[in-house]
Amino acid sequence: MQSNAEVLSTLPTDDRLAGRTAVVTGSSAGIGEAVARVLASSGATVVVTAREADRASGVVRSIEAAGGTARALTVDLGGSYADLRRFAAEATDVLGGRVDVLVNNAGIYPVGPTEALADDDLDALLAVNVRAPHVLVGALAPAMAERGDGVVVNIGSWMARVGVPAMAMYPATKAAIEQLTRGWAAEYGPRGVRVVGVAPGATSTRGNADYPEAMDQLARATVAGTPVRPVDVAYAVRFLVSDEGRFVQGSSVDVDGGLVGARLG
């Protein structure tokens, strides 16, 4: 199997998303970068976001080198409500006045026993993983609904539906995102905005590089037998935001190699 980097460096191009615009939060690395690059490879104009300008710009350069179109914006998703709404307006502006796709990917995951989780970490988890998607949907989905067209994809986690020792709060934020997906689908779906989720399994990202043994153990218990690559999650996102996914609404698609649905051990 090709590595994630190998696949991203040789993505074929097509026009299934030509003319569409997309904002992908937390897209300077990992799943977010893969989503941005895959959407761009299918013709979407993508806003790549990060807290540091050089990291976002690096992904934009990779997209442009492959013939795609992207813009870089910086945002602190743990910032103020005003900062988040300002970012939404700026993204809309650089995309020519409309956002067709919002991918709420960015997330943080400080972990540890409940009694040891620092107050600042708790605040950050709620701010980045729950508050930011809520504010961005509130800022961008109404315009989609007014046009009668748009897609919101929320990146969740396999851990939203299981109990994991010393890791209660991060999965709780992802469970919240799954419920928001259902709620937003009911709220905006009748006005033409599809809201869907993707729940990755144990994924080989830079953030998980510090836990190789745990990753290998989880992967061995799956049907796939290997960790999820970020590009595999990106392929699911592309399907969901394309016309091919138009009847997927309000649900989350598991991209986990069978980790939840068919565990082998």
Q: How far, in Å, are 23, 67, 221 from residue 87 at the CA level?
A: 11, 26, 41
The CA distance from 3 to 132, in Å, is: 31
The CA distance from 164 to 114, in Å, is: 12
Q: Which residue reads 């107050």 in tokens?
A: 119
Residue 67, classed as helix, strand or coil, is coil
So where are the chain's domains?
14-253
Confidence (pTM):
0.94
Residue 78, classed as helix, strand or coil, is coil
The CA distance from 173 to 107, in Å, is: 9
The CA distance from 219 to 187, in Å, is: 36
What fold does the segment set 14-253 form as a domain?
Answer: Rossmann fold (3.40.50)
On the 0-12 / 13-18 / 19+ scale of CB atoms within 10 A, 52 is exposed
Which tokens go with 11?
């993505």
Catalytic residue among 81, 170, 188, 211: 170
Residue 235 falls in the annotated catalytic set: no
pLDDT in 10s for each residue of the chain, 265 residues: 899 999 999 999 999 999 999 999 999 999 999 999 999 999 999 999 999 999 999 999 999 999 999 999 999 999 999 999 999 999 999 999 999 999 999 999 998 999 999 999 999 999 999 999 999 999 999 999 999 999 999 999 998 998 888 899 999 999 999 999 999 999 999 999 999 999 998 886 666 555 566 667 777 777 777 889 999 999 999 999 999 999 999 999 999 888 877 766 6
Q: How far, in Å, are 74, 181, 246 from residue 156 at the CA level?
A: 22, 10, 20
